[in-house]
Structure 1
């Protein structure tokens, strides 16, 4: 009995601030929808053919001929966008409440999960072997060629050929299948680290007298919010199934004809805009990498003076950061021309400076 209490106490008897709002529900939602994503991906892998000539048509077969295949595939593709939406809100809440200062280990594990999710999303985006998938993979993998001396060899090693082709598809499928299991492992570690200290208080207080037990009030709130979010997903699948898909990806990959405007999915657009805003290829690659790694560095003493107390300057800088992120996402959809190129440069500067 004592052993059971040892394992369940951090989850059910955890002291939780009574003032936390719906922005604290997104962590719970991420756990559930990630599990759904892994299960749906497992079913899709049974029917998907990682072949240069058959990958595109295997997706059509899943959508048209397989029993409920259309539903599983649309769940998988739409929940991918939902995961990133929830991740960005979850990260923004952590930045706003300064969780990276009070719960550094949980923050670092969360950022690690974010990087793993981005990797899984990129490899999965290539698998349908549509026009945008193929050329997106070509552009993104070519980024490694900016590394001096070894860059071109590294690109060919990733491709397994002289261009994106059959070996590339095989490797990306294998990695996309394996990576989510590491993600689930990191999520367990993240939950353990978080529940060892408890959730942060939006009021800035650390006193246990202002907290209540997690079970059952917050469990009901989590499931209620989850049901609301997933109802919107079902509405999207039923009425707007292709809302997050690029029309170019409805065409089979053609290595001889590139799309007029190559762009990644919406959740990568901010990093893509930063990459394009730097004229130097190596500088753009470094800026792209540090646009993610900067989440680790904000904890360094001297770079962040954030405390649990309310600070108008800190909150203003947070909203400038969010605004620059949204503007970069918008600019990433646009061609590299005036005024978007100038807006991208200014927003990139604000993104790093703030």
Structure 2
């Protein structure tokens, strides 16, 4: 977005002028992340999570590169190589725990980022491309995390790969071919480990590239804000630096404290104890579950138990992928002109019901597949799809939103006990019957 009031980059030193003429990297950084990029003045701490996601990805890439130097993608020694990293490599335990728990922190941050976008309508015009690229990043994250979970080659790694890839065989005609192509054979073994290791190493760099496109797409319309109204002028914005670099720095400090607490005091809390048992194709674990951040989708997958036209297993696969692909169509499913759910009372209620529904799905995905949890998964999966395909479209056409503020500045001043410029002009005009009260 072009802001006519944005401060322009002006190199002052001969060296920076020379560099700016030949490779304007400082200008690019200044216009993207510095004083040359105005942002809405009312962004709250939920807008920190984009930067936190970038920090989590950086942690994953750095620790992953070092771990790859010591890991052996071979079924005979993969488990032992991970144990060797933990015991024999200098600070290997730290790198391994940082990488494993960093994945969990990455998903916590991204899930919060997604729910913020859902609540404040960040998927609406003119930011559809920002949202679509974000969903692509989420899909790449899920693929990367699944392949990474297989690499320790413990019991849960092996059987997770066996079960999840087995669902592809439900696809008619080409299912078995896809599964064999994914695994490089008929069961998880050396070929699967090599493929998953190669892709797990490569995909984070692909994610980084898509994130650059995501940020680029964001800078064209500019950032959304909690009110959902467009920027009206210079009074509605502040420079990104120093205001939001300081705010993001504070959020990053909190993130690192939580991450350090998890890493040093509860390093195995989010993992599964069976993954400390070497992979054994002849011994099936009593309860096979993926990592916690896949549980809602795993619950949707398991919710289909009866054949209806198509096999139940195929319905589960289609529903699991459909639950994510549905997000691509959200900008057009929600046709309300109002972005922020702060001004959409019915949509706000539906949003919080959806959050509760996904939390219950997550609990069911990690629970044993007995009758109670399967039925509960079926109810919650039905509501998940109904929310996006039925409830939200109906609400967006029928609800009566609350009045929007005329500008971001008006909303900020109203929230802090001040008055808007329009009110100030009215109250100080000669025809005003009451004197203006100072604030």
Point out the structure with max Rg over C-alpha. Answer: 2
Distance of aligned partners of 1:139 and 1:6 in 2 relative to their CA distance in 1, 3 Å threshold: closer
Question: How much is the aligned-residue C-alpha RMSD, in angstroms?
Answer: 1.4
CA distance in 2, matches of 1:323, 1:168: 37
Asked if the contact 2:30/2:37 (under 8 Å) is kept, the reply is: no
Residue in structure 1 matched with residue 163 of structure 2 by the alignment? 139
TM-score (normalised: structure 1): 0.97
CA distance in 2, matches of 1:80, 1:275: 22
| Counterpart selection for 1:307 from 299, 321, 338 | 338
| Counterpart selection for 1:328 from 353, 357, 361 | 361
| Counterpart selection for 1:275 from 301, 305, 308 | 301
Residue-pair matches, total: 353
Residue in structure 2 matched with residue 24 of structure 1 by the alignment? 47
Structure 2, unpaired ranges of 5+: 1-10, 12-19, 306-311, 388-439
After superposition, the C-alpha distances for 1:194-227 in whole angstroms (9 at most, x for unaligned) are 1222211102221233211111011011011111
CA distance in 2, matches of 1:303, 1:275: 26
Residue in structure 2 matched with residue 345 of structure 1 by the alignment? 378
TM-score (normalised: structure 2): 0.78
Structure 1 counterpart SS, 2:267: coil
Asked if the contact 1:98/1:306 (under 8 Å) is kept, the reply is: no
Structure 1 counterpart SS, 2:285: coil
After superposition, the C-alpha distances for 1:11-30 in whole angstroms (9 at most, x for unaligned) are 21222122111110000011
CA distance in 2, matches of 1:172, 1:105: 29
CA distance in 2, matches of 1:292, 1:82: 20
CA distance in 1, matches of 2:356, 2:337: 20
CA distance in 2, matches of 1:161, 1:118: 22
Structure 1, unpaired ranges of 5+: none
Whose RCO is larger (CA < 8 A, sep 6+)?
1
CA distance in 2, matches of 1:338, 1:142: 22
CA distance in 2, matches of 1:204, 1:282: 40
Distance of aligned partners of 1:306 and 1:327 in 2 relative to their CA distance in 1, 3 Å threshold: farther
Residue in structure 1 matched with residue 67 of structure 2 by the alignment? 44
After superposition, the C-alpha distances for 1:138-182 in whole angstroms (9 at most, x for unaligned) are 011111101101211221222212211111111110111111110
Structure 2 counterpart SS, 1:100: coil
CA distance in 2, matches of 1:318, 1:63: 43
Distance of aligned partners of 1:6 and 1:131 in 2 relative to their CA distance in 1, 3 Å threshold: closer
Residue in structure 1 matched with residue 32 of structure 2 by the alignment? 10
After superposition, the C-alpha distances for 1:315-334 in whole angstroms (9 at most, x for unaligned) are 11111111111000000111
